[in-house]
Amino acid sequence: MIIKRPFWQDLIEKAWQERNIIWLMGVRRAGKTTLCKSINDIEYFDCEKPSVIQLLNNPEGFLQENQHKKIVLDEIHRLDNPSQILKIAADYYKNINIIATGSSTLGASKKFKDTLTGRKREIWLTPLLLEEIESFGNSSLSHRFLFGGLPAFFACRELPEKDFKEWIDAFWAKDIQDYFSVHKRYSFQKFAELLLAQSGGIFESNKFAIACEVNRQTIVNYLGILEATFVVHIVRPYSTHKATEIVAAPKVYSFDTGFACYAKGWGEIRNEDKGILWEHCVLNELHAKLQTQDIHYWRDKKGHEIDFVLIDKKNKLINIIECKLNSANLNNIDSLTKNIQAFRHHYPNGTNFIVAQDVTDVYRMNIKNTTITFVTPMQLIKELKK
């Protein structure tokens, strides 16, 4: 049974109203194939099949035969020249709606000779949204934390540790070898595992270089590959280069809570683990609903810190987000308020959000002359889009 995913299906239909080519990207097993097949009246072509590859060797003939249709070209990077057919379709067959899928940004693949600038819309399929988990058989937030948001993993009743390991091996064998020129498997995989294990922490390339037995530039290249394939998300510090701010050290987050837990060796979720995992889930919601990686954090040299910073260029606002699992029993509210006040001393215009899972209706509190808006992740998106 194919589970309907209204948010993603609507996003695809809206994208097709703007361009007839959609690049649907996201990590392996995020559900790209199943999502595509859930679209009404769509025809599916698996580009891993030799028969499909042969069919697409004549792109104009293929497109001529499929006019006025919706089609999926799954794993299109398996073709020798995958951008060719998409470019022809965008320029000469606008009556065909196409979804092409892949595991990285379009420009990352060495096979794509043309990134189709101006000819496509991109959609980034993230792990499961919090509003989707009940449809996939479990409404437990702790289950979402530990098992992660890849649909097949989340649906398991027992922790699928072998599946996590197999996913990492398949990621190397299929995505890395097909997309990139990486020769040192041990160093690359060790780096990926160490990075996932410290997910949400500050990235220091020199420490990884020593542990992985490669130089610093290689580590930087590895990080770029993991970002391009959506396995990690780099959250850079927000700054206008004030002397009091930390401006250079990024944070790096795992794409998925399940893989973070697996890399950390967590077989169960303790209360003290939930805060950082909730932070990951909020980041996932922002990525999915806003379809952007332009998210920052903030820290000054006195130790004040804000989880996420979003710049609203249209309204000239800088909105800040603190992730707290429960709003009802906030610890260290004075410290939290001091962090917000320290940020607002430099950047006064914007809304201060606390995102918690136990909020019902949006509400605001004034604490020491600082207004804080309490929201759930879904409410946060609505507030940001006002």
Q: Distance between CA atoms of 225 and 231, rounded to whole angstroms?
A: 9
Q: Which of 313, 316, 379 is nearest to 348 (CA)?
A: 316
Whether the CB-CB separation of 360 and 348 falls below 8 Å is answered with: no
User: How far, in Å, are 236, 244, 322 from residue 247 at the CA level?
Assistant: 8, 9, 19
Domain boundaries defined on the chain: 6-124, 130-290, 302-384
Q: pTM for the whole thing?
A: 0.95
Cβ count within 10 A of residue 114: 15
CA distance 175 to 278: 28
Integer Cα distance of 306 and 297 in angstroms: 6
Fold of 6-124: Rossmann fold (3.40.50)
What secondary structure letter does DSSP report for 42? Answer: E
In whole angstroms, give the CA distance from residue 180 to residue 110: 7
Q: Specify the pairing of strand 370-375 against strand 251-254.
A: unpaired
- pLDDT tens track, the chain, 386 positions: 678 899 999 999 999 999 999 999 999 999 999 999 999 999 999 999 999 999 999 999 999 999 999 999 999 988 888 899 999 999 999 999 999 998 888 766 666 777 888 999 999 999 999 999 999 999 999 999 999 999 999 999 999 999 999 999 999 888 888 777 788 899 999 999 999 999 999 999 999 999 999 999 999 999 999 999 999 999 999 998 888 888 889 999 999 999 999 999 999 999 999 999 999 999 999 999 999 999 999 999 999 999 999 999 888 999 999 999 998 777 678 888 999 999 999 999 999 999 999 999 999 999 888 999 999 999 999 999 98
Q: What is the pLDDT of residues 105-139, one digit of tens each?
A: 876 666 677 788 899 999 999 999 999 999 999 99
pLDDT (0 to 100) of residue 181: 77
Q: What is the largest CA-CA distance in the chain?
A: 69
